[in-house]
């Protein structure tokens, strides 16, 4: 009985089987359980008040800003850690446990295997972020309501005119949960996805989980300077920098991803709106990176021997 291996639907079905399996495998690992629970606790801690001065007019708005920046900071940290660590351990674990042999001995193309593992990790990151996002939005929603109540009280006692009250209400609502905030969470997801695909690439030529993890984190940090390196390269010469410096900045900007692009989070927290078009472009970039790194991983992995 010969079954078509190379039809698109069979590729997709194999990839989804492996992805779902990787997802359940990761979820059942106690480590990730604890990580997500911890992250949720951190976000839920926003329910308590921080000691801060609030002037009468901006009463409470700073609390909302704190909630957002603390939650998004938690999300950024945890999503990157999850993405890197989960990816870094998947391949070495399969090799060590020899379960890799049983999978590759079946008619499973190696690309499907890699893509499936990556997708499993992305599912894990997505679900965790969704949970954290849900919690953050809930806390933010409740707090916004509380802030608005306090503001209404104050406005009534001070006898504010209705247009002032409406303006204050509008401003408070803008600081509360909004679509741009969801967009910012998605930007966090995109950044984590790029890190996961990068970790996949590194894990194909390193067999050690630790090595992959450390190198990935290094790249993550240095990647934030990529934009500076690129600017330096593009504008160099005028400042009279040497050829060598220019070469270094060129290399850095070619090799590393530019993570600064995803720093739209700060602007959203300060109240800026994130246009859909920008989000679309960021998604496109994220997709390019993920696809490129997956194919690069396949290039190395396809001739790896076990």
Partner 1 sequence: MKPSLKIGVLTLAVLGFGAARMPFEANLSSELRAAGLTPMPLEIGTRDKIDQTSSAVVLGGLRTLVATFFNLRAFSFFQEQRWDDVAETYRTIVDLAPRTRYYWETGAWHSAYNAASFYLNDSKLAPLRRREAWRSSIIRGRAFLERGIRNNPDDWNLLAYLGFMLSDANKFPAFGDSDATFSAAADAYGKAVKTGKALDFVQRAQLYSLARVKGRELEALALARKLYAIRKNQTPTLKTLLFVLEAYENPKLEMEKRALEIFGTPEASYDALCSHWQRTRERYPVHGVAEALQALEKTLKIDPKNSIFNQPLQSPTMTDDWFSK
Partner 2 sequence: MDELKPAVEIRNLVKDFKTSFRRQMLRAVDDVSIRIMPGEVYGLIGPNGSGKSTTMKALLGLVAPTSGHCAIFGKDSLRVDSRNDVGFLPENPYFYKHLSGAETLRFYGKLCGLKGRVLEERVTELLGLVDLQGARDRRLGGYSKGMLQRIGLAQALVQDPKLVILDEPTAGVDPVGSRQIRDLILKLRERGMTVFLCSHLLEQVQEVCDHVGIIFQGKMVREGRLEDLIAIEDQTEIILKDASPELVSSIHRLVENSAGASVVRVGKPRTTLERLFLRETLREDKP
Question: Which residues of this protein are in contact with partner 2, per CB under 8 A?
Answer: 1-3, 5, 10, 13-14, 17-18, 21, 24-25, 28, 97-99, 101-109, 303, 305-306
In this structure, what is the dihedral angle of CA atoms 254, 255, 261, 266, given to the nearest 10 degrees?
-130
Residue 154 Cα to chain centre, angstroms: 40
For partner 1, the closer of residues 126 and 292 by Cβ is 292
In angstroms, the first-to-last Cα distance of the chain is 28
**Using CA atoms, how far apart are residues 165 and 173, in angstroms rounded to an integer?**
12
**54-83 residues near partner 1, rule: CB under 8 A:** 55, 58, 61-62, 65-66, 68-70, 72-73, 76-77, 80
Yes or no: say if 11 and 109 are a contact pair by the CB < 8 Å rule.
yes
- Using alpha carbons, select from 104, 125, 304, 305 the residue that is nearest to residue 197: 125
Cα–Cα–Cα angle for 233, 237, 238, nearest 5°?
Answer: 115
Which tokens is 176 given? 């509360």
Among 53, 240, 242, 244, indicate the residue that binds partner 1 (CB under 8 A): 53
Binding to partner 1 by residue 159, rule CB under 8 A?
no
Among 12, 138, 167, 276, indicate the residue that binds partner 1 (CB under 8 A): 167
Q: Collapsing DSSP states into helix, strand and coil, what is residue 108? A: coil
228 binds, among partner 2, partner 1, none (CB under 5 to 8 A by kind): partner 1
**Around Cβ 110, how many Cβ atoms within 10 Å?**
16
Among 127, 153, 270, 276, indicate the residue that binds partner 1 (CB under 8 A): 270
Tokens 């938690």 map to which residue?
74
Yes or no: say if 81 and 90 are a contact pair by the CB < 8 Å rule.
no
Instruction: Report, in Å, the least distance between residue 4 CB and partner 1.
Output: 28
Instruction: Report, in Å, the least distance between residue 107 CB and partner 2.
Output: 4
**Binding piece for partner 1, criterion CB under 8 A, among 2-10, 13-21, 99-107, 219-227:** 219-227
**Using CA atoms, how far apart are residues 296 and 255, in angstroms rounded to an integer?**
13
Yes or no: say if 186 and 279 are a contact pair by the CB < 8 Å rule.
yes
Instruction: Report, in Å, the least distance between residue 228 CB and partner 1.
Output: 6
For partner 2, the closer of residues 48 and 306 by Cβ is 306
**Using CA atoms, how far apart are residues 143 and 138, in angstroms rounded to an integer?**
9
2 binds, among partner 1, partner 2, none (CB under 5 to 8 A by kind): partner 2
For partner 2, the closer of residues 19 and 269 by Cβ is 19
- Binding stretches for partner 1 (CB under 8 A): 50-53, 55, 58, 61-62, 65-66, 68-70, 72-73, 76-77, 80, 161, 163-164, 167, 221, 224-225, 227-228, 230-231, 234, 253-255, 258-272, 274-275, 278, 281-282, 285, 288, 292, 296, 299-300, 303
């Amino acid at each position: 009985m010969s079954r078509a291996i190379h039809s698109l639907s069979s590729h997709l079905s194999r990839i989804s089987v492996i992805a779902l399996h990787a997802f359940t495998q990761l979820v059942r690992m106690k480590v990730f359980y604890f990580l997500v629970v911890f992250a949720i606790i951190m976000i839920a801690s926003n329910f308590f008040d921080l000691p801060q001065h609030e002037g009468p007019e901006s009463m409470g708005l700073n609390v909302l800003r704190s909630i957002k920046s603390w939650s998004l900071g938690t999300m950024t940290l945890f999503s990157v850690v999850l993405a890197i660590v989960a990816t870094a351990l998947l391949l070495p674990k399969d090799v060590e446990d020899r379960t890799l042999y049983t999978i590759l001995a079946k008619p499973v193309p190696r690309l499907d295997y890699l893509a499936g593992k990556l997708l499993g990790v992305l599912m894990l990151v997505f679900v965790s972020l969704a949970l954290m996002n849900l919690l953050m939005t809930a806390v933010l929603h409740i707090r916004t309501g509380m802030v608005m109540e306090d503001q209404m009280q104050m406005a009534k006692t001070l006898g504010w005119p209705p247009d002032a009250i409406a303006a204050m209400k509008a401003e408070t609502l803008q600081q509360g949960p909004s679509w741009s905030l969801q967009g910012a969470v998605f930007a966090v997801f995109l950044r984590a996805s790029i890190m996961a695909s990068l970790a996949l690439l590194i894990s194909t030529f390193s067999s050690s989980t630790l090595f992959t993890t450390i190198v990935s984190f290094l790249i993550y940090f240095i990647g934030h300077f990529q934009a500076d390196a690129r600017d330096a390269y593009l504008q160099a010469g005028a400042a009279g920098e040497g050829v060598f410096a220019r070469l270094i900045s060129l290399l850095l900007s070619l090799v590393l991803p530019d993570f600064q692009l995803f720093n739209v989070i700060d602007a959203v927290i300060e109240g800026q709106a994130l246009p859909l078009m920008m989000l679309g472009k960021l998604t496109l970039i994220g997709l390019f990176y993920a696809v490129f790194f997956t194919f690069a991983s396949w290039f190395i992995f396809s001739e790896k021997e076990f």
